[in-house]
């Protein structure tokens, strides 16, 4: 049944708060007004606030709540390294061009600082007032120095002398020892001293840099621990025994701090002969880019904070005082150290569709009909097995593959290596510029080249983000195309954590389309028009605008019209304006946007027919699904592309149709309907840019992810 018959998602609508925007009824001629657009960066902070809500949620298992707290810290790291760093660059170069929302970079930085300080304060409040006490109730303790017993102190003194002291190199600050250049996001201590050193030099300040190899959380051995799971923060241990680094001197203060640096890479792709070599030269600089944020212990005196600010050339609003470890993300190791299944999400075994039961001939299984995989509920194994068989099958002549993120020890990469070594024609398009995976992808490219594969890096100026695998197999007189297309990366671990769709097919037209895209990526010619696939930067954006326009025309004619889109981000202004026009015409529009969304829903005369929701739960929502009612002939496409400028205009992306009617209905019933009916893990976006979590109230509680677990998992 098509989604046009489902109306439950438009019930129980909470009245939105008043928004300070113009009250005149919008017309189609003023859809570019600043007040109709939300800001990307502020929307990203709202996303992290939703993640933090899960760290507070008593219904979420306790150790998983700790993970959500850590995820917020990891997200904020990247936010500062990339988004804030980019804004600071614009300001430093005098670029104050406002975005679609009307905010200049300077105005935006001010708002970001205000909101992020609030968010960080809330993080540490959740840690100290909720998670740590509740973990202690479960006999999982983080011992403060004031709580150490004599046995704890003896063990930790030995631990410091044996494991830490040999690795720590304090740097006393004087004319011969200037302030050291500290690694991005490394843990450091500012130590204040009294007295003179062995050479009779008075020295008041030193820096202690902590190697990244050291764990930030230390588990006490059972013979020393009082409870089953006693932990100490590395920062506490160093603080307690830091005086051993300065014999003969008196330590008057010890304050942990951490600096976040600009991690954007600056490579002019059109002005280099070898992109891989250019990136290799840039990667070391990432660790020492310009400082954009300083995190420091909240007990650090104001004059010492000012001293650090001066070293990093930061303003007061760039300083974030932390009531606890300065890097909460490193607490992510704790759940793995605690054997308490009752405090974690239930483990599960992904299922395999009946049409994809493991066999000795995956090619035969695919010939029987297209295979749709819904991860993580269904296994990623059919994809890895398909490529493993392709690597050894004597009838397979060629394998073509895109790789964006793969993870360590990838079975898919090993299959590509085996195929190349076995004499098959293997072409791999590796995206070297996948942010924070550049180094791993450079090593991957080297390994594949050593095995004899043809490795290319896509198109200058465009990241290759499409998820495609193509196997050409000789079957009698026929050269058959076997294709895998997906919404997520070829990363087996992420396939257990992210929701994505993948399609295995031997449809000849789709196979030819994929082959033409690969030809585009590896050659300089024009491969011709694609029959089924939509591609960025060519046809995806204009086709979506056309389809939105067709639904708009049908609504104007009084015919049913419905658009549903699920994605990670919605930011591109032309698409947003087209959706506003569709809403004004009466098109029913449901948007499931996990992260930032620049569209304002619920504005009378503009977007009252648009509803935006964000689903956040156990798994990271990652699939992109585009649905158009199309006069009852449902049109469903899956894609690797979000509705963002970069995906439409600066990336190689594909969107592919689900041609089989049964599988198309599966996408609707599994990928859209349960998300529109979710009332436990859904946050509704209001016109002022804030989100409110839905609650079931007296209705039956519905969770899309839990429903899919029951439906699809073994």
The set of residues, in sequence order, having a beta carbon less than 8 Å from that of 588 and lying 6+ positions away, is 10, 561, 562, 563, 609
The set of residues, in sequence order, having a beta carbon less than 8 Å from that of 371 and lying 6+ positions away, is 353, 355, 356, 365, 382, 503, 504, 505
Residue 17's pLDDT is: 35
Provide the β-strand partners of residue 378. 351
Distances (CA, A) of 292 to 44, 80, 89, 178, 308: 18, 7, 10, 21, 13
φ, ψ of residue 643 to 5 degrees: the values are: -90, 70
Q: pTM score, two decimals? A: 0.90
85-92 vs 105-126: helix crossing angle, rounded to 10? 150
Residue 258's pLDDT is: 96
Of 674, 663, 661, residue with least CA distance to 632: 661
Q: Which CATH number fits domain 25-48+536-712: 3.20.20.100, 3.40.50.300, 3.40.440.10, 3.30.870.10?
A: 3.30.870.10
Report the share of the chain in percent with pLDDT over 70.
89
The answer on pLDDT for 270 being more than 50 is no
Q: What 3-state class would DSSP assign to 462?
A: strand
CB 485 within 8 A of CB 468: yes
Query: Cα(589)–Cα(578) distance, rounded to whole angstroms?
Result: 11
Distances (CA, A) of 515 to 177, 394, 476, 484, 508: 59, 21, 20, 12, 10
Tell me which CATH code domain 105-343 carries: 3.30.1840.10
573-585 vs 540-556: helix crossing angle, rounded to 10? 10
Tell me the per-residue pLDDT of 546-599, one tens digit each, with 9 for 90 and over.
999 999 999 999 999 999 999 999 999 999 999 999 999 999 999 999 999 999
Of 541, 551, 531, residue with least CA distance to 632: 551
- Enter the tokens of residue 401: 């593959």
Q: Which of 152, 374, 462, 465 is catalytic?
A: 465
Whether 686 is a known active-site residue: answer no
φ, ψ of residue 208 to 5 degrees: the values are: -115, 120
Residue 527's pLDDT is: 64
Per the rule left: phi > 0, alpha: psi between -120 and 50, beta: everything else, 200 is left
Tell me the per-residue pLDDT of 74-126, one tens digit each, with 9 for 90 and over.
999 999 999 999 999 899 888 888 889 999 999 999 999 999 999 999 999 99
Residue 9's pLDDT is: 39
Confidence of residue 431 (pLDDT cuts 50, 70, 90): confident
Provide the β-strand partners of residue 615. 682
Give the pairing of strands 169-172 and 229-233.
unpaired
Q: Does residue 528 or residue 208 have the better pLDDT?
A: 208
Mean pLDDT of the region 457-486: 92
Residue 333's pLDDT is: 94
Mean pLDDT of the region 683-698: 94
CB 196 within 8 A of CB 242: no
Residue 54's pLDDT is: 97
Q: Does residue 13 or residue 611 have the better pLDDT?
A: 611
CB 278 within 8 A of CB 320: no
Confidence of residue 451 (pLDDT cuts 50, 70, 90): confident
Mean pLDDT of the region 57-68: 97
Residue 20's pLDDT is: 39
The set of residues, in sequence order, having a beta carbon less than 8 Å from that of 318 and lying 6+ positions away, is 113, 291, 292, 293, 294, 309
Residue 3's pLDDT is: 47
User: Where, residue-wise, is CATH 3.30.870.10 in the chain?
Assistant: 25-48+536-712, 354-531
Residue 284's pLDDT is: 54
DSSP, res 395 = T
CB 482 within 8 A of CB 473: yes
Q: Which helix (H) or strand (E) holds 70?
A: helix 62-78
Residue 635's pLDDT is: 97
C-alpha of 282 from chain center:
23
Burial class of 338 by CB neighbour count within 10 A (0 to 12, 13 to 18, 19+): buried
Q: What 3-state class would DSSP assign to 503?
A: strand
One-letter-per-residue 3-state SS of 120-188: HHHHHHHHHHHHHHHHHHCCEEECCHHHCCHHHHHHHHHHHHHHHHHHCEEEECECCECCCCCCCCCCE
Residue 404's pLDDT is: 83
Give the pairing of strands 396-403 and 425-430.
parallel
Superfamily of domain 354-531: Endonuclease Chain A (3.30.870.10)
Give the strand order in the sheet containing 169-172.
Answer: 169-172, 205-209, 188-194, 250-261, 291-297, 319-322
Mean pLDDT of the region 444-450: 82
Q: Which residue has the tokens 């003969």?
A: 248
Of 353, 165, 344, 138, residue with least CA distance to 241: 165
Other C-beta atoms lying within 10 Å of the C-beta of residue 247: 8
Residue 441's pLDDT is: 63
Q: Does residue 101 or residue 11 have the better pLDDT?
A: 101
- Enter the tokens of residue 424: 């098959």
Distances (CA, A) of 660 to 262, 511, 563, 667: 47, 15, 20, 11
């Amino acid at each position: 049944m098509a989604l046009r018959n489902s109306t439950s998602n438009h019930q129980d609508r909470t009245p939105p708060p008043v928004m300070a925007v113009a009250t005149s009824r919008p017309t189609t001629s003023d859809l570019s007004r600043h007040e109709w657009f939300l800001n990307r960066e502020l929307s990203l902070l709202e996303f992290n606030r939703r993640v933090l809500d899960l760290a507070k949620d008593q219904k979420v298992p306790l150790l998983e709540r700790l993970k959500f707290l850590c995820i917020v810290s990891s997200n904020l790291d990247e936010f500062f390294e990339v988004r804030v760093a980019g804004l600071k660059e614009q300001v430093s170069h005098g670029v104050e061009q406002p975005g679609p929302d009307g905010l200049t970079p300077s105005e935006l930085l001010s708002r970001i600082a205000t909101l992020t300080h609030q968010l960080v304060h809330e993080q540490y409040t959740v840690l100290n007032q909720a998670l740590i006490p509740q973990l202690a109730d479960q006999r999982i303790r983080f011992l403060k120095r004031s709580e150490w017993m004599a046995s704890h102190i003896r063990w930790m003194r030995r631990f410091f002398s044996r494991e830490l002291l040999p690795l720590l190199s304090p740097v006393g600050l004087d004319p011969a020892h200037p302030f050291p250049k500290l690694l991005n996001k490394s843990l450091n201590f500012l130590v204040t001293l009294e007295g003179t050193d062995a050479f009779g030099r008075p020295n008041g300040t030193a820096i202690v840099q902590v190697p990244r190899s050291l764990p930030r959380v230390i588990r006490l051995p059972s013979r020393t621990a009082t409870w089953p799971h006693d932990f100490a923060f590395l920062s506490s241990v160093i603080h307690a025994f830091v005086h051993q680094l300065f014999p003969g001197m008196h330590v008057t203060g010890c304050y942990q701090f951490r600096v976040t640096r600009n991690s954007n890479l600056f490579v002019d792709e059109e002005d280099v002969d070898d992109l891989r070599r250019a990136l290799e030269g840039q990667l070391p600089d990432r660790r020492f880019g310009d400082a954009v944020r300083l995190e420091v212990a909240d007990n650090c005196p104001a004059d010492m904070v000012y001293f650090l600010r001066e070293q990093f050339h930061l303003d007061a609003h760039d300083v974030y005082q932390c009531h606890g470890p300065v890097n909460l993300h490193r607490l992510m190791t704790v759940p793995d150290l605690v054997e308490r299944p009752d405090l974690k999400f239930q483990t599960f075994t992904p299922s395999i569709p009946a049409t994809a039961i493991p066999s000795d001939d995956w090619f035969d299984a695919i010939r029987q009909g297209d295979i749709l995989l819904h991860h993580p509920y269904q296994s990623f194994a059919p994809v890895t097995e398909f490529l493993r068989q392709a690597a050894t099958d004597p009838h397979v002549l060629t394998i073509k593959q895109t790789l964006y993120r793969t993870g360590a020890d990838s079975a898919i990469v090993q299959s590509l290596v085996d195929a190349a070594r076995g004499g098959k024609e293997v072409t791999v398009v590796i995206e070297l510029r996948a942010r924070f995976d550049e180094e791993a992808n450079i090593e991957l490219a080297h390994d594949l080249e050593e095995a004899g594969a043809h490795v290319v890096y896509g198109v200058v100026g465009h990241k290759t983000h499409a998820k495609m695998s193509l196997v050409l197999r000789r079957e009698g007189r026929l050269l058959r195309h076997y294709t895998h297309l997906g919404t997520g990366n070829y990363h087996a671990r992420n396939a257990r954590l992210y929701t994505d769709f993948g399609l295995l097919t031997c449809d000849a037209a789709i196979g030819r389309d994929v082959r033409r895209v690969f030809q585009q990526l590896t050659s300089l010619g024009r491969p011709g028009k694609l029959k089924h696939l939509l591609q960025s930067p060519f046809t995806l954006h204009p086709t979506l605008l056309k389809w939105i326009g067709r639904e708009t025309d049908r609504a104007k004619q009084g015919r049913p019209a419905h658009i549903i889109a699920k994605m990670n981000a919605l930011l591109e202004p032309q698409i947003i304006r087209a959706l506003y026009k569709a809403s004004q015409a009466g098109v029913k529009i449901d948007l499931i946007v996990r992260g930032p969304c620049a569209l304002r829903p619920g504005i009378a005369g503009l977007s009252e027919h648009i509803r935006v929701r964000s689903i956040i739960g156990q798994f990271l929502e990652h699939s992109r699904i585009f649905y158009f009612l199309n006069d009852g002939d449902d049109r469903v496409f899956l894609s690797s592309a979000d509705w963002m400028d970069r995906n439409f205009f600066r990336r190689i992306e594909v969107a592919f149709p689900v041609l089989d009617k049964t599988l198309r209905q599966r996408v609707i019933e599994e990928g859209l309907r349960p998300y529109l009916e979710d009332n436990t893990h859904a946050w509704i976006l209001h016109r002022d840019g804030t989100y409110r979590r839905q609650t079931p109230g007296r209705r039956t509680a519905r969770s899309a992810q839990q429903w899919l677990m029951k439906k699809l998992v073994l």
